[in-house]
A and B are shown apart, each in its own frame.
Chain A
Amino acid sequence: MRAFEYAAPTTKEQAVSLLGTQWGHAEVIAGGTDMLSLMKDDVVRPKRLVSIQQLQGLDGSSSSRGLEISAVTTLAELANNINVMKDYPALADAIDEAASPQIRNMATLGGNLCQRPRCWYFRGGYGLLPKDESGKDLAAAGNNRYHAILGNAGPAKFVSPSSIVPALIAYGAKIQLFGPKGTRELAIENFYVIPKSDGEREHDLKPNEIVTRVILPGADKNLKVAHYEVRQKAAFDWPLAVAAVALRMDGSRIQDARVVMGHVAPVPWISGEAANVLVSKNYSEDLARQAADAALTKATPLSQNAYKVQLARVAVKRAIVKAAGGTS
């Protein structure tokens, strides 16, 4: 790891002011589980680290807007939060499946949202849009078994790494950012972007912005949400495909639907096609299957990851079945 200087400010204003206006000078550290690995692998080389774990005034609260969660809440605290367990059980599920107990004790919600892709070419130092010395796209021509099957027409072939963001999107959560110009909020899905050229990141985050909160809309009794992920190992393994599904149900009739997939595209992937199949229909397992098929009709697998199309399809189907109250 290269040398850096370290600051642990107490206010978000100080934190932001300690960050630079360009990427590469300073990085934010919270739980550290991803940042330190990136630095040890020499992928990220900040000259300054700004810790935000001790910032004051980021406390969460429950209000008419819903549940506001501090970005520096650890994943373990979040999964064990009584309100989350009661009102957002699919989020608690997703967190319980994520990483390991130690990581959940360390990693923060904000850090989970901002963690960098696990693409092995990126982590090996070939860039987020990895190329060799001749400019050849390494992920497209190389080993892409864990790479994107959707949204991969451009140079970005990695997959968005968070396995809990799909559930947050399914619940309609918002992310709150703080920068020199103050606070801004956006739907979490809009926080993620597919980079098109070198130097762009996969988040809509300015170099001198920090994530301060996540806001979950108020509990909705009619909203049935489920998370399902396909993993090779029983625990402590990156998913091969993730799906989170929110169904607003009136009896067995689906009034509204949101189908989100993770680990399939450079961003969390919302499938309008799948939602269209579901909305205004009576739930059945067959309908779930049709929706799952629709979610993947536009998939464009790479040379070695066609199997992920099937896995994502199964994840979507099982998440729908689970959300609707059937067994997966």
Chain B
Amino acid sequence: MPDYSWPSPATSALIGKRVTRVDAPAKVSGHAQYTYDYHGKNMLFGKVVRSPYAKAKIVSIDVSAAEKMPGVKAVQIIQKAGSTVQWAGDEVVAVAAIDEATADDAARAIKIEYKKLAHLVSDAEPPAGAGEAAGPFSSDDIDDAIGNQLPDKQFIEALQQRGVSFKPEEDDLKDWADEGASDDVINAIRKAPFHNTEGQQPHSFFQKAAAQTQGDPDKAMAEAEVTSEGLYGATVIAHCCLESHGSVTEWPDKDHVFTHISTQNVSGIAGQMADPLEVPAANIRVHQDNMGGGFGSKFAADRWDIAAARLSKKAGGRPVRIMLERDAELQVAGARPSAYARVKVGAKKDGTLLAWQSTSWGTGGPGGGGMPPIPYIFSIPNKRAEHTTVRNNIGPARAWRAPNHPQAAMITMGALDDLAAKLNMSPLDLWIKNLDIAGPRKDTYREELGIAAELMDWSNKWKPRGTNLSSGIARGLGLSIHTWGGRGHNSDCDVTIHPDGSVEVKIGTQDIGTGTRTTIAIVVAETLGLPVEAINLYIGDTLYPPSGGSGGSTTPGGVSSSSRRAAVDAREALFAQVAPGLNAQANDLECVNGTVRVKSGPSRSLSWKQACSKLGAMPVTARGKNPDKSKPPDLTNSGVGGVSMADVAVDMETGVVQVKKMVAVQDCGLIIDLKTAESSCYGALVMGISYALFEEKLFDQQTGRMLNPNMEFYRLAGLNDIPELVVHMMTGKGYDERGVIGLGEPPVISPGAAISNAVANAIGVRVPILPITPDKVLAALSQSTRAGAQ
């Protein structure tokens, strides 16, 4: 059997080096085509009429005036009279017309009568006495329970009693096993009774989850020598993808659908469109060249995408474009759930963690949101964690890079940082002191904390809370650690070597800005001993072998593994043809630097082109898969650790926070391209600064609407808000041999917590909730002054 294992970065030509992003020239020249740029022949422009109310019954819809307007080609009712809209911006009707202006006029001509219903858009602390969950587990509930390390016995009993509301798939079970669920739990999920909950409305805005307990939290807390209490949390934020959600869909004939869609999930879209469009998935082609940002919010064929397809059918198959406008993008196309927690943590005087108690809540819109996995990373021996989901009318949540982890980090690392202050310990010492309970990556954290501290000059710069003040500017340092899975997803890849030496790679994945194209090109080029430019790479189409959605940091492991196996097999097929001419055994050949040569006698070699000409008339194609137990070893792995440190300056008179420096130290197993890997971390630090200081979806309880569905008051950090950023990737022994692990989620988890801790260190008091805006800083300062005066 050929050797599929990864070459060592020490000897490889490309793997682990800083390779320039292969599609960068197209992007900087404006030639890169995005879904929004696609202009089909005779394309129609779609517009969506949205509910102005957060909760309302649709009484009547009159589309007659719109239908009669010249230039209007189709009108599609999305939610019929009698339906209840659950958030402001909910889709009700869509129109398609010959140009955008006409579509706009037609949308305005549609008359919809609503009966307003009571809504909730606030996510303030739930009233005491919210009811406990009794219904079956959803897949999100199971994610939560595993993330929160719910003890097996408790988990299995609950699964037997409450059942599940979905039919678990093998992929899910495997993911859960990767995330640490025991075989007993996996079996219990498999066997849990199925209860259908579809169509059932939640009865209350609040739903309390079962308390998660471990050890004896009350006793341990009573025995703790030091305790610390506080409130920590993060508000709802948006994805704010620069390329909004949407698609251009046409019917080339009455049985076939062709959609250009902005998606993280090229291979998964057809299956989602098939049912609503009543077309076999095999008849649906999905295409995307480039994608302008998703961050977890673009896995679905959304309601507006289905509407575009239906409008197209009504209009005789002409392409219909519906790309969301910015206000809709911010209102309905993605939100990260909020999470808040009142935490009490207890420790020995030396910092040893003993007990954790938390009462948390948060919202992810009408469906609720998950409980963050708290306490995060540190498995405190005695704990009780209670969570209430707020189900309100702010629109649905979507996965936002590292779902639930940034919130968990903010809550946990904030609480531990406050404890450290109470113990008069440096948080760095407290963290190191407790690494024994930090799970499987504890040694990684230890190493990373040392490197990060050096890069931050922590030992020289760190001062006890509130003691680093000069000319009205307070300085402070903070840190946080994080973890993520990141095992490679299912992926198929075809590599073809042509007799003329050209190489073709086809894979139904997508590059969402993370450098997936570059990763695949490097793997195939490395395997064939060619430069990256020699690889003709085709992605982003259902014409190519299916590859998983780009979520949960699963893409690098998936596509690198399948493309490696495909390239090795294609290479072996070539070797078989070339070996006799070189008077060698096929297994004694290697591809190096544009040649095929004999390992035991490198002077016997052919140029790549000469070698490929031995193929005769037919190219060779090999299909690689991931996972593939028949072709070991496993080329991907799961579980990474990372550290963020922040250095901030706070203007004590205005409460304006400036980040002065950030450090990220991260592992992700074997790194394929160091350059784009580092970029993922730099980008995550920027996103972290942005959500720590600026971002917040603001809702108005009176009108039920989002107040800032625009980019002036939904603030994103700009170039001038970004300080010196330092990124260090862990490589070498202990990392490289683990295989490829994804990187999209982990580095974005900790920056918010690290910045919050740095602000607390600077000003001497916790600003409990992200984002840390001047009003909150001033409020925290004045509260502490008042408390001090008492």
Q: Within the complex, which residue of A120, A232, A314 is in contact with B707, where a contact is CB–CB below 8 Å?
A: A120
Asked if A143 contacts B707 (CB within 8 A), the reply is: yes
CB-CB under 8 A from A1, the residues of chain B are 101, 104
Q: How far is the CA of A233 from the CA of B718 in the complex (A)?
A: 8
Interface residues of B in 102-122 (CB under 8 A from A): 104-105, 108
A238 at the interface (CB under 8 A from B): yes
CB distance from B88 to the nearest CB of A (A): 10
Q: How far is the CA of A197 from the CA of B779 in the complex (A)?
A: 34
17 sampled A-B residue pairs with Cβ under 8 A: A2-B105, A3-B101, A121-B707, A138-B702, A138-B703, A143-B700, A145-B775, A232-B656, A233-B694, A233-B718, A233-B721, A234-B658, A234-B718, A234-B720, A235-B721, A240-B774, A307-B778
CB-CB under 8 A from B693, the residues of chain A are 232
Q: How far is the CA of A232 from the CA of B655 in the complex (A)?
A: 9
Q: Which residue of B lies closest to A230 (CB)?
A: B654
Interface residues of B in 512-548 (CB under 8 A from A): none
Q: Within the complex, which residue of B101, B654, B655, B717 is in contact with A233, where a contact is CB–CB below 8 Å?
A: B717
Asked if B105 contacts A230 (CB within 8 A), the reply is: no
Q: Which residue of B lies closest to A309 (CB)?
A: B778
- Given the known A-B contacts A118-B712, A120-B713, A230-B654, are A235 and B720 also in contact in the complex, defined by CB atoms under 8 Å? yes
Interface residues of B in 664-703 (CB under 8 A from A): 693-694, 698, 700-703
CB-CB under 8 A from B708, the residues of chain A are 120
Q: How far is the CA of A126 from the CA of B703 in the complex (A)?
A: 10
A59 at the interface (CB under 8 A from B): no
CB-CB under 8 A from A234, the residues of chain B are 658, 718, 720-721
**Chain A 138-158 per-residue mask, 1 if CB under 8 angstroms from chain B, else 0:** 100111011000000000000
CB distance from B769 to the nearest CB of A (A): 14
Interface residues of A in 204-246 (CB under 8 A from B): 230-238, 240
Q: Is the interface of A mostly helix, strand, loop or mixed?
A: loop
A310 at the interface (CB under 8 A from B): yes
CB distance from A319 to the nearest CB of B (A): 13
Q: How far is the CA of A132 from the CA of B698 in the complex (A)?
A: 18
CB-CB under 8 A from B712, the residues of chain A are 118, 238
Q: Which residue of A lies closest to B779 (CB)?
A: A307
Give residues in A with beta carbon < 8 Å to B.
Answer: 1-3, 118, 120-121, 123-124, 126, 132, 136, 138, 141-143, 145-146, 230-238, 240, 304-305, 307, 310-311, 314
B698, B774, B778 interface centre (most CB from chain A within 10 Å): B774
Interface residues of B in 732-779 (CB under 8 A from A): 773-775, 778-779
Asked if B101 contacts A236 (CB within 8 A), the reply is: no
Add 20 more A-B contacts to A121-B700, A138-B700, A142-B700 (CB < 8 A).
Answer: A2-B108, A3-B105, A118-B713, A120-B707, A120-B708, A121-B707, A124-B705, A126-B703, A132-B702, A136-B702, A146-B713, A230-B654, A232-B694, A233-B717, A234-B721, A237-B715, A238-B712, A305-B775, A307-B779, A311-B654
CB distance from B613 to the nearest CB of A (A): 55
CB distance from A310 to the nearest CB of B (A): 6
Q: How far is the CA of A205 from the CA of B717 in the complex (A)?
A: 37
- Given the known A-B contacts A3-B105, A142-B700, A234-B718, are A311 and B707 also in contact in the complex, defined by CB atoms under 8 Å? no
Give the interface size class of chain B.
20 to 34
CB-CB under 8 A from B653, the residues of chain A are 310, 314
Asked if B718 contacts A235 (CB within 8 A), the reply is: yes
Q: How far is the CA of A138 from the CA of B713 in the complex (A)?
A: 18
CB-CB under 8 A from A235, the residues of chain B are 718-721
Q: Which residue of B lies closest to A145 (CB)?
A: B775
CB-CB under 8 A from A146, the residues of chain B are 713
Q: Which residue of B lies closest to A308 (CB)?
A: B775
Asked if A132 contacts B703 (CB within 8 A), the reply is: yes
CB-CB under 8 A from A231, the residues of chain B are 656
Q: How far is the CA of A145 from the CA of B713 in the complex (A)?
A: 12
A118, A138, A234, A305 interface centre (most CB from chain B within 10 Å): A234
A123, A141, A307 interface centre (most CB from chain B within 10 Å): A307
Q: How far is the CA of A307 from the CA of B698 in the complex (A)?
A: 18
Q: How far is the CA of A118 from the CA of B693 in the complex (A)?
A: 21
CB-CB under 8 A from A311, the residues of chain B are 654-655, 774
Q: How far is the CA of A232 from the CA of B695 in the complex (A)?
A: 11
CB distance from A303 to the nearest CB of B (A): 12
Q: How far is the CA of A145 from the CA of B774 in the complex (A)?
A: 11
Q: Which residue of A lies closest to B705 (CB)?
A: A124
CB distance from A135 to the nearest CB of B (A): 12
CB distance from B348 to the nearest CB of A (A): 39
CB distance from A270 to the nearest CB of B (A): 22
Q: How far is the CA of A3 from the CA of B656 in the complex (A)?
A: 43
B108, B702, B710 interface centre (most CB from chain A within 10 Å): B702
Q: How far is the CA of A65 from the CA of B705 in the complex (A)?
A: 50
CB-CB under 8 A from B101, the residues of chain A are 1, 3
Q: How far is the CA of A118 from the CA of B719 in the complex (A)?
A: 24
Q: How far is the CA of A145 from the CA of B700 in the complex (A)?
A: 12
Asked if A236 contacts B718 (CB within 8 A), the reply is: yes
Q: Which residue of B lies closest to A240 (CB)?
A: B774
Asked if A314 contacts B654 (CB within 8 A), the reply is: yes
Asked if A307 contacts B775 (CB within 8 A), the reply is: yes
CB-CB under 8 A from B707, the residues of chain A are 120-121, 124, 143
CB-CB under 8 A from B720, the residues of chain A are 233-236
CB-CB under 8 A from A237, the residues of chain B are 715
Asked if A230 contacts B774 (CB within 8 A), the reply is: yes
CB distance from B332 to the nearest CB of A (A): 16
Q: Within the complex, which residue of A143, A230, A305 is in contact with B656, where a contact is CB–CB below 8 Å?
A: A230
Q: How far is the CA of A311 from the CA of B774 in the complex (A)?
A: 9
8 residue pairs, one from A and one from B, having the closest CB atoms: A234-B720, A307-B775, A235-B720, A120-B707, A314-B653, A307-B778, A230-B654, A234-B721
CB distance from A131 to the nearest CB of B (A): 10
Asked if B779 contacts A232 (CB within 8 A), the reply is: no
CB distance from A179 to the nearest CB of B (A): 32
- Given the known A-B contacts A232-B774, A235-B720, are A142 and B701 also in contact in the complex, defined by CB atoms under 8 Å? yes
CB distance from A6 to the nearest CB of B (A): 14
CB-CB under 8 A from A124, the residues of chain B are 703, 705, 707
Q: Which residue of A lies closest to B716 (CB)?
A: A233
Asked if A233 contacts B715 (CB within 8 A), the reply is: yes
CB distance from B703 to the nearest CB of A (A): 7
CB distance from B118 to the nearest CB of A (A): 14
Asked if B773 contacts A232 (CB within 8 A), the reply is: yes
CB distance from B694 to the nearest CB of A (A): 7
CB distance from A93 to the nearest CB of B (A): 16
CB-CB under 8 A from B108, the residues of chain A are 2
Q: Which residue of A lies closest to B721 (CB)?
A: A234
CB-CB under 8 A from B713, the residues of chain A are 118, 120, 146, 238
Q: Within the complex, which residue of B105, B715, B778 is in contact with A310, where a contact is CB–CB below 8 Å?
A: B778
CB distance from A97 to the nearest CB of B (A): 12
Q: How far is the CA of A176 from the CA of B339 in the complex (A)?
A: 54
**Chain B 624-658 per-residue mask, 1 if CB under 8 angstroms from chain A, else 0:** 00000000000000000000000000000111101
Q: How far is the CA of A121 from the CA of B702 in the complex (A)?
A: 11
Q: How far is the CA of A231 from the CA of B715 in the complex (A)?
A: 12
Q: How far is the CA of A130 from the CA of B769 in the complex (A)?
A: 29
Q: How far is the CA of A136 from the CA of B701 in the complex (A)?
A: 13
CB distance from A325 to the nearest CB of B (A): 17
Q: How far is the CA of A233 from the CA of B701 in the complex (A)?
A: 27
CB-CB under 8 A from A232, the residues of chain B are 656, 693-694, 715, 773-774
Q: How far is the CA of A236 from the CA of B720 in the complex (A)?
A: 9
Q: Which residue of B lies closest to A141 (CB)?
A: B702
CB-CB under 8 A from B710, the residues of chain A are 123
CB distance from B102 to the nearest CB of A (A): 10
Q: How far is the CA of A100 from the CA of B589 in the complex (A)?
A: 60
Q: Which residue of B lies closest to A327 (CB)?
A: B471
Q: How far is the CA of A245 from the CA of B645 in the complex (A)?
A: 40
CB distance from A91 to the nearest CB of B (A): 22
CB distance from A106 to the nearest CB of B (A): 16
Q: How far is the CA of A126 from the CA of B655 in the complex (A)?
A: 31
CB distance from A291 to the nearest CB of B (A): 15
CB-CB under 8 A from B715, the residues of chain A are 232-233, 237
CB-CB under 8 A from A143, the residues of chain B are 698, 700, 707
